Each structure stands twice: as C-alpha cells, then as structure tokens.
Amino acid sequence: MTRDSIAVLGAGAWGVALANVAAQGRTRVPLWAHDAAHVAALEQHRENRRHLPGLPLACAVTPTADLACIRGAEIVLAVVPAQAMRDVARAARPHLADGAAFVICAKGIERDRRRFMSEVVAEELPQAKPAVLSGPSFAADVCKGLPTAVTLAAQEESLAQRLCEALSTKTFRPYRSTDLLGVEIGGAAKNVFAIAAGMASGRELGASAQAALIARSFAELTRLGRALGARSETLMGLSGLGDLVLTCGSAQSRNFAFGQRLGRGAAAKDASGGKLTEGAFTAHVLVEMAKAAGVEMPIAEAVDDILAARLSVDAAIDALLMRPLKAES
C-alpha cells in the first residue's frame, strides 16, 4: 500500500519534529522554510541548530525555500507561528492540490481578525480540507522518539482516521476526533495558562498554588470551550487537559519559561529569551473572545493585564486571591 505523500510548511522545532515523524516509511518529505539562508543551514548541518539543536533531520527530509514543494502532496502540515498562518496559507493557495488535507499544527488565535486557525485556513484555502493536530508534545521529545500521543481532528471522521494512519509511528500516536474547534481552543488557551503557571513558579508560590492554578485554568478553558461549542471529551482529552498539564508543569515549555522570567521580575519585552511564546500573542484575543461570549476567565485576564503592563505580577496574584468566594464550577 502506498502511503499518503506529506509536505511540511515551517522548519522550526515543531516542523522538524513532525517532518521526522512523516519521514518514517517515506522516501521524501519536503520541509519548507521561509528563509533561504535557513534552508542552506538546514541542508549543511542536517539539523535546526537554532530551534532544535543536536537532533538531526531524518534522511528523507528535504529542506526547500520553494513553496511549490507542496504540489502533489496529499497532506500538508502547517507548522508556522499562528500569527503567520494567514500569510503562509495565502501564499500556498496556488500550489495546493484540490482536496488536500491542510493540517494546522500551530497553537494560537489570530490577533488582528480574532480568528481560529481553522477559520483562517477556510478563508484562505477554499480547496483544502482543514484538520488540526494538537496535544501534549514537546518537539524534542518527539524527535528523540519518546512516546507521545496527540489529537488529530478533521470534519470527516474518515479523513481524521486516514491522517492518523499517515502520521502514526511506533512512538507517535494520534487519536482521531471530529471536534476541530475543541482541539484548537485547548491548544491556544493552554499557552496563556502556562504563562500564569510559570509566573507562580517564578514567584515561588509553592506546589499547592501550582496545582490550584492548573485546576482553575482548566475550569476557565472548559467554560469557554463549552460556550463556543467544543465537546467536553475534547476539553478533557489530550489537546485540552493533557496539554495544559504538560505545559503548566514544565520549564521545557517556552510559555512556562516566559512566565517564570516574568515572575522573577523581567519585563514582558525581555522575558521570551528570543523564543516563540504563542501565549503572549493569544492572551488578549482569548480574553476578548471570552468577554464576547459572556465567559469569566480571571486567570487569562490577569495574564493579559500583566503583559499589557496594566498590572504587576504581585497585584494580579492579590486580585485573584481576593475574588469573592464562590461555588466551585
């Protein structure tokens, strides 16, 4: 049986990790990067020294700066930062085959137009079948072949199943879903909550506070997800609770590490360490969406207020602790 052909857009840490997954059982996996110098470096070193040092590209992975590399691909994995997804999807439009699966692997919400990634793809790539891959999965873990499970959602269950088959390996295990929005909400929101968890760690608030923050973050995520039509089992699954627990509990997460630096007193503009922190881009639009849906998200709001310098970390902690006592929900 021939396997579906796969091309990957975006050659950062996650793009490389997923290209290596796709390379298993395939002889050629194009890996597109927007920067020709980056492509030359990938070809020369056979690794991404900036974003994923020490973890080599699989032999079948072919770096290229030519977007036409997606021509003929049955599955395209879109692994660029969320705020770049629209431009990349638009540029991909003339090259993408009719009916190809366009799998969103970014975790975030478009700030300017307040759109989920699946909405961006629907607007820019009418010929594509959108899908979403998300869940607890650090790129380095996946590249090292450590066991990982994710959710892979498409509108048609048969497509979700086909995508799971195309991407599963001995150690990378996708579970299928048809709840695209639920998967997207979990992936986008957990990055914002990971910043909050990192701040608590940076302020040394203790393990009890850390657990409370994760549980109350999950309550916020669930409230918003339900209001927007996500399914409970999705929110409680790998892409919701699973990724929230991973990202809020590990300094391996860039969002958590960013929050930790904020908690230790760094200014927001200096706290990323030069790394992509999707939660910082998503916090405000997430809060706006919650307000529009009439959903309370005090932890997400605190993160947004701190990032916009409307509130200090200590004032945000005090404000959260002084909220009126209420029933747990």
Ligand X SMILES: NC(=O)C1=CN([C@@H]2O[C@H](COP(=O)(O)OP(=O)(O)OC[C@H]3O[C@@H](n4cnc5c(N)ncnc54)[C@H](OP(=O)(O)O)[C@@H]3O)[C@@H](O)[C@H]2O)C=CC1
Ligand Y SMILES: O=C(CO)COP(=O)(O)O
**Contacts with ligand Y, residue ranges (CB under 6 A):** 107, 136-138, 191, 194, 243, 246-247, 253-255, 278
**Given candidates 116, 138, 172, 218, which one binds ligand X under the rule CB under 6 A?**
138
What is the identity of the amino acid at 274?
A: G
Work out whether 30 is an interface residue with ligand X (CB under 6 A): no
| Whole-number Å distance between alpha carbons of 165 and 176 | 10
**Given candidates 57, 75, 88, 316, which one binds ligand X under the rule CB under 6 A?**
88
Residue 173 touches which member of ligand Y, ligand X, none, C-beta under 5-8 Å by kind: none
Backbone angles phi, psi at 14, to 5 degrees: -75, -35
- Which positions ≥6 away from 9 have C-beta within 8 Å? 15, 32, 67, 70, 76, 77, 78, 79, 80, 88, 92
**Given candidates 6, 7, 8, 13, which one binds ligand X under the rule CB under 6 A?**
13
What is the identity of the amino acid at 310?
A: R
Element at 195 (helix H, strand E) = helix 180-202
- In whole angstroms, the minimum distance from the beta carbon of 226 to ligand Y comes to 22
Work out whether 159 is an interface residue with ligand X (CB under 6 A): no
Residue 10 touches which member of ligand Y, ligand X, none, C-beta under 5-8 Å by kind: ligand X
**Given candidates 79, 96, 154, 159, which one binds ligand X under the rule CB under 6 A?**
79
- Which positions ≥6 away from 178 have C-beta within 8 Å? 153, 154, 155, 156, 157, 160
Active site residues: 190
Do 279 and 191 touch, CB atoms closer than 8 A? yes
- In whole angstroms, the minimum distance from the beta carbon of 115 to ligand Y comes to 20
Residue 88 touches which member of ligand X, ligand Y, none, C-beta under 5-8 Å by kind: ligand X
Residue 13 touches which member of ligand Y, ligand X, none, C-beta under 5-8 Å by kind: ligand X
Closer to ligand Y by CB, 107 or 203: give it: 107
- Which positions ≥6 away from 65 have C-beta within 8 Å? 32, 33, 34, 35, 36, 39
Q: What is the CA radius of gyration of the chain?
A: 19
Rule CB under 6 A: which of 265-294 touch ligand X? 276, 278
Element at 234 (helix H, strand E) = helix 232-235
Closer to ligand X by CB, 65 or 205: give it: 65
β-pair partners for 123: none
- In whole angstroms, the minimum distance from the beta carbon of 249 to ligand Y comes to 11
Closer to ligand Y by CB, 14 or 162: give it: 14
What is the identity of the amino acid at 180?
A: L
Which segment (33-41, 170-178, 288-296, 298-306) binds ligand X by CB under 6 A? 33-41
* Contact set with ligand X (CB under 6 A): 10-15, 33-35, 38, 51, 79-82, 84, 87-88, 105-108, 137-139, 276, 278
